[in-house]
C-alpha cells in the first residue's frame, strides 16, 4: 500500500469488482465519469455500471496485480497485470494481460465529509489482441501467426 489513500482504495475496489458489486461503482467514480479502453468509450456512472455488469456476466476469474503507482496532483498512473478466465476465451484457461491505467481524480467537494477523492476519468491501455482477439478459436491463430511474422 502507498500513502495515497484514494489510489489505494481504487486498486482495492477493482480487485473486488465482479458482477455482484457493480452497483458500488459510485464509491470510486464520479457520476459523470468517462471510462475508455482500446475497445470502448463509456460516459456516465450508469452506463459504466451497465458495461461492467455485462462484461462480468460470464467472467469466472478476474484479478489484478498492481505494480507501480504514481500520482502527481489529480493524475495517477498504475501498471497492472490482469489474470482473466472466461469460458469462451483461451479454452476456458486463465491467462494474463499487462496494462496501465491513467486516472484523473475529481477535486473533493467542499462539503465532502472526509470521503475519498473519486475518479472522473479512467483510461486503460493494453493490447486488445492479447486480451481478446488472440484468445478466440479461429481468429486467435491467425493473429498469433501475423504477430510471429511481424517479429512481435
What are the strands, taking DSSP E only, across the chain? 29-36, 41-43, 61-72, 75-85, 95-105, 119-126
Section 130-146 average pLDDT: 56
C-alpha–C-alpha distance, residues 100 and 82, integer Å: 10
pLDDT at 110: 40
pLDDT at 90: 64
pLDDT at 35: 97
Yes or no: say if 38 and 128 are a contact pair by the CB < 8 Å rule.
Answer: yes
Reported as a single tens digit per residue, the pLDDT across 91-132 is 777 888 899 999 999 987 643 556 778 999 999 999 876 656
Residue 21, phi-psi category: left (phi > 0), alpha (psi -120 to 50), beta (remainder): alpha
Bridge partner residues of 78 (DSSP) = 69, 101
Section 129-136 average pLDDT: 57
pLDDT at 37: 93
Residue 2 pLDDT class (50, 70, 90 cuts): low
State whether residue 93 is helix, strand or coil. coil
Phi–psi pair at 141, nearest 5 degrees: -65, -40
C-alpha–C-alpha distance, residues 125 and 73, integer Å: 21
Reported as a single tens digit per residue, the pLDDT across 28-58 is 999 999 999 998 999 999 999 999 888 888 8
**Domain architecture of the chain: domains with CATH:** 5-107+115-150 (3.10.450.50)
pLDDT at 129: 66
Residue 60 pLDDT class (50, 70, 90 cuts): confident
Amino acid at each position: 500500500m502507498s500513502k495515497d489513500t484514494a489510489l489505494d482504495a481504487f486498486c482495492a475496489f477493482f480487485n473486488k469488482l465482479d458482477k455482484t458489486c457493480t452497483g458500488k461503482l459510485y464509491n470510486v467514480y464520479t457520476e459523470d465519469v468517462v471510462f475508455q479502453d482500446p475497445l470502448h468509450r463509456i460516459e456516465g456512472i450508469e452506463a459504466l455500471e451497465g458495461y461492467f455488469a455485462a462484461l462480468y456476466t460470464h467472467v469466472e476469474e478476474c484479478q489484478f496485480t498492481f505494480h507501480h503507482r504514481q500520482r502527481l496532483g489529480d493524475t495517477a498512473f498504475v501498471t497492472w497485470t490482469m489474470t482473466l478466465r472466461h469460458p469462451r476465451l483461451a479454452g476456458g484457461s486463465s491467462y494474463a494481460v499487462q496494462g496501465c491505467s491513467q486516472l484523473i481524480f475529481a477535486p473533493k467537494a467542499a462539503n465532502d465529509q472526509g470521503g475519498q477523492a473519486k475518479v472522473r476519468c479512467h483510461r486503460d491501455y493494453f493490447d486488445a489482441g492479447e486480451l481478446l482477439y488472440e484468445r478466440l478459436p479461429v481468429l486467435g491463430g491467425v493473429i498469433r501467426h501475423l504477430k510471429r511474422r511481424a517479429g512481435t
